[in-house]
């Protein structure tokens, strides 16, 4: 099942590649969910889960990228920095 990412939990650091700690959203039944970036990366790499964003009706799956040996999530159209995820609102209550 693919999960729509609507929010993120960001850390206090300045590095855009490690700033996002968790992603989250709402399931079809209305319940909120969050997942750490590390867990989401593992699920994507193992093919057990798919995460996507909605940008003006375009819904690409998130991809795992690497910057200086560190894996992170981003939208496929983000050139390098995960600008799409950084621009999402904070997950409330996470």
Judge whether residue 5 has pLDDT over 90. Answer: yes
**What predicted TM-score, i.e. pTM, was given to this entire model?**
0.92
- Residue 80 burial by Cβ neighbours in a 10 Å radius (0-12, 13-18, 19+): exposed
Instruction: Give 38-80 pLDDT, tens digit per residue.
Output: 999 999 999 999 999 999 999 999 999 999 999 999 999 999 9
């Amino acid at each position: 099942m693919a999960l729509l990412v609507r929010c993120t939990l960001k850390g206090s650091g300045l590095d855009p590649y490690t700033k996002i700690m968790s992603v989250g959203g709402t399931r079809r039944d209305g319940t909120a969910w969050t997942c750490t970036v590390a867990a989401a990366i593992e699920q994507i790499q193992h093919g057990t889960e798919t995460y996507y964003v909605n940008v003006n009706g375009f819904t690409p799956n998130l991809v795992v990228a690497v910057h200086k040996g560190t894996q992170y999530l981003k939208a496929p159209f983000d050139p390098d920095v995960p600008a799409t995820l950084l621009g999402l609102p904070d997950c409330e209550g996470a």
